[in-house]
A and B are shown apart, each in its own frame.
Chain A
Amino acid sequence: MIGKTVIPFGPQHAVFPEPFHWRLVMEEERVLDAIPGIGYMHRGIEQLATRMEFAKTLFLAERVCGICSFMHALAYAESLEKLMDVEVPPRAKYLRTIWAELARLQSHLLWIGLAADAFGFESLFMQAWRVREYVMDMVEFTEGGRVMTSSVTIGGVRRDLHEEAIEFLLENLDKLEVGFEEVYQVFTEDPLIKHRTVGVGILSKEDSIRLGAVGPTLRGSGVAQDMRMLGYAAYGELEFQPVVEDSCDSYARMVVRLKECFQSINLIRQAIKKLPDGDVLVKVRGKPEGEVVTRIEQPRGELLYYIKANGTKSLERFRIRTPTLSNLPPLMHMIKGACLADVPVITLSIDTCIACTER
């Protein structure tokens, strides 16, 4: 009988781009317990926000996470607009929707690449990132930056889409769809990927609700919850249904993300078709006062912003709850009892983003 061993996993690990640390308590090949160690990426954003002017905090919020920077800026702008009673022009709402879906696409494609890398499927990783560059081109063409877009502001958006940009978007969406179709087929049909994911990391429907999972992790367990259904930005006027899978394993979560890519392409096309004319920015005056909670669907799940302002130029309290934080308890539940070789796959299946979790 072998006793328990503790295996450190990370912080510098080839599978993750971010420092993430697990202490795995093992008995032979089974994981008995997993203790996450965090704090490598803490930047003190919440405290910094209480010292900065609220208009500048937008750029700080954008830099919570580089993968979904647009979503954080959107959540911040939406919260302050609620506090200050600003009505955003309809065209700005549609532009926000288009850019939010582009951000979702690039985040999902990034995850698909990393997941393929974790399965040891190097060529698929390269394919996914090749396809992702179409999205990055669209982002850069329309927003001015590849990663940090700085295109949302309180009261609207900072840039408009002209004719040429819309043509560029439509053209690249077609190319993207063709390229993504190939990746999708490999992912759903390849026996190796099925072998690594089917039945690995089971999270039942009851557990996912009890442990508070969000986003694709929750939808992969058969619960149709999607914050976009709340109808922020222009989502209320577009047609879509949350993507749900009910096999509750890593494979289901993967398929949810893959299908959401098609959904995003479709949503962008719908939004371009319905794009109204008019202004994109209204002037905002005064200082925010009061409390507000905003919920936004990030690529990884529900993002929650809590802002308390007291009429001065800085916020009084700025609190972010990111989807990865909500998904950590389900992850710890799934890792218990898994094999050591499955730990990277299960960890990736919730699409961890440590930068936002530790802020």
Chain B
Amino acid sequence: MSLVALSRKKSPWLLHFETGGCNGCAIEVWACLTPVYDVERFGMVNTGNPKHADVLIVTGCVNARSGRVLRNLYSQMPEPKVVIAVGVCACTGGIFHDSYNLAPGADRAIPVDIYIPNCAARPEAIIDSVLHAVDLLEEKGRSYDARRS
């Protein structure tokens, strides 16, 4: 395994973007970064810069305006990248699904790899999915390396 592939697996960086739900899932993502749930145990660091990030965590439902920012952030992230949709808002729109200005789900704006249901998503489920994202990242990294060489 090359050094790059190893570090991808050992230390994925997270970028969190709240697209416009109720904040409930956003604070649960923050709770995961703090002592009691602490995803930093797995070498993950929360970053504010899309160019450094490997995993994009989307919380909340996507409207026209935040969809633009979301696509922008997604396109700035380097390959390989994994997107996690947290909460039913990001999966399908949840209770807001027939509102006039919302896209039903973040997957209308960007490709989503992992969906976490529940409103609000529990921190345990978020930890599960970021661990899952690490495997996915490794898999995607392998096919990306193969494509490049």
Contacts and interface: CB of A to CB of B under 8 A. Distances in A.
**Is chain B in direct contact with chain A in the complex (CB below 8 A)?**
yes
Interface of A: 11-14, 17-19, 39-45, 47-48, 51, 59-60, 63-67, 69, 110, 113, 125-126, 129-130, 132-133, 136, 145-148, 353, 355, 358
Contacts of A132: 31
Given A18-B23, A41-B60, A48 B99 contact: yes
Interface residues of B, number: 38
Interface string B91-112: 0001110111110000000000
B18 interface: yes
Contacts of B34: 113, 125-126, 129-130
A43 B101 CA distance: 7
A17 B23 contact: yes
Contacts of B98: 48, 51
A129 B31 CA distance: 7
Contacts of A60: 95-96
A18 B19 CA distance: 8
Given A41-B60, A63-B24, A66-B21, A48 B96 contact: yes
A171 B62 CA distance: 41
Given A43-B63, A66-B23, 8 more contacts: A17-B18, A18-B23, A42-B20, A43-B20, A43-B21, A66-B27, A129-B31, A145-B120
B18 A19 contact: yes
B54 interface: no
Interface of B: 16-28, 30-31, 34-36, 48, 60-61, 63, 65-66, 69, 73, 94-96, 98-102, 119-120, 122-123
A358 B61 CA distance: 13
Contacts of B69: 11-12, 19, 40
A17 B36 contact: no
Contact of B20 (A14, A41, A51, A67): A41
A146 B20 contact: no
11 contacts: A11-B69, A13-B48, A19-B19, A41-B19, A41-B21, A43-B20, A47-B100, A51-B98, A63-B95, A146-B122, A147-B120
B66 A19 contact: yes
Nearest to A113: B34
Contacts of A41: 18-21, 60, 63, 66
Contacts of B94: 63
A297 B30 CA distance: 25
A63 B22 contact: yes
Given A19-B69, A64-B22, A14 B102 contact: no
Q: Which of B63, B98, B102 has the most CB of A within 10 A?
A: B63
A66 B120 contact: yes
Contacts of A353: 23
Contact of B100 (A11, A44, A63, A145): A44
A355 B21 contact: yes
A145 B69 CA distance: 31
Nearest to B121: A147
